[in-house]
Amino acid sequence: MNILIAEDDVHLREGLNDLFSQEGYNCILTEDGEEALEKFKNHRPDFCIFDVMMPKLDGFELCRKVRAIDDHIPIIILTAKGDEVDRVVGLELGADDYIAKPFGPRELIARVKAITRRTINAPTQSKKQQTSFEMAHLTVDPKSLRATHNNKTIQLTMRELKVLEMLYENKGKVLSRLELFEECWGRRYMANSRALDQFISQLRQKIELDQSNPEIIRTVHGVGYRYEN
């Protein structure tokens, strides 16, 4: 899972990188709000952790801008402030949780995992999304965010899982780029075909036996993608 960490304190930023890397997460590090927003747009992470007091763009405004792009991305705000007003502001702007400094590293990890579980098991998901399903040679298990093939385990991000679920549930139907963006990135995200094509290419590297002749995610030129196996 990819986590975007926006923190201007270099020591804390590197400490968070070490902490999450040890837990198997991939960290995207930024030191100010504007850089964080650009990296969010370019990398499309699965989780965000924002400090409040940052140069150029503070954590509250960054949270608002990110939430305008993606309704579903989990966000935790970190701050040295303990004022209840600041906590309320952060949550009203769309943050999923708010942690005051100093905090224990295990507490932060636990909160990230708890929010991830809630996101995966949200009530809006269909019953089909709660159980394993087969796509060609691949077995996908939504609950564990994993896929398997010949005893090989493939770790999936939440967004990769959403794309596979959508293709599976619309087997034989061509899904346009816009449909995939609206469902898997959020309705207010401005569709970018290059970003989606790059995402699909990276996902194929993980799940396809032959990327030049994919069985699971097939390109329908000029339209979008389809799963029909």
pLDDT tens digits along 55-111: 999 998 999 899 888 877 899 998 876 555 555 665 666 788 888 888 898 889 998
Other residues' Cβ atoms within 10 Å of the Cβ of residue 92? 11
Q: Does the structural domain 127-226 have CATH classification 1.10.10.10?
A: yes
3-state secondary structure of 158: helix
**Amino acid sitting at position 67:** R
Q: For residue 185, name the pLDDT band (cuts at 50, 70, 90).
A: low
**From 23-37, 115-129, 204-218, the region with the lowest mean pLDDT:** 115-129
**From 91-100, 146-155, 174-183, the region with the lowest mean pLDDT:** 91-100
At 217, which helix (H) or strand (E)?
none
The alpha-carbon radius of gyration of the chain (Å, integer) is: 18
The pLDDT value recorded for residue 4 is: 96
Tell me the CATH number of domain 2-120, given options 3.40.50.10700, 1.10.10.10, 1.10.1280.10, 3.40.50.2300: 3.40.50.2300
Q: For residue 121, name the pLDDT band (cuts at 50, 70, 90).
A: low
User: What would the pLDDT profile of 43-53 be if each residue is shown by its tens digit?
Assistant: 889 899 999 98
For residue 195, give every residue at least 6 positions away whose Cβ sits within 8 Å of its Cβ, in sequence order, or none.
42, 44
Distance CA 130, CA 35 (A): 36
Distance CA 63, CA 90 (A): 8
**From 8-22, 81-95, 127-141, 149-163, the region with the lowest mean pLDDT:** 81-95
3-state secondary structure of 171: coil
pLDDT at residue 137 tops 70: yes
- Tell me what the mean pLDDT of segment 139-152 comes to: 89
pTM: 0.56
The pLDDT value recorded for residue 125 is: 44
- Please provide the size of the chain in residues: 229
Distance CA 137, CA 198 (A): 23
The pLDDT value recorded for residue 198 is: 81
3-state secondary structure of 173: coil
Q: How far is CA 81 from CA 8, 78, 84, 107, 217, in A?
A: 15, 9, 9, 18, 46
For residue 171, give every residue at least 6 positions away whose Cβ sits within 8 Å of its Cβ, in sequence order, or none.
227, 228
Residue 207 tokens read as 């799940």
pLDDT at residue 195 tops 50: yes
* Domain spans of the chain, in order of start: 2-120, 127-226
**From 65-74, 121-130, 135-144, the region with the lowest mean pLDDT:** 121-130
Q: For residue 186, name the pLDDT band (cuts at 50, 70, 90).
A: low
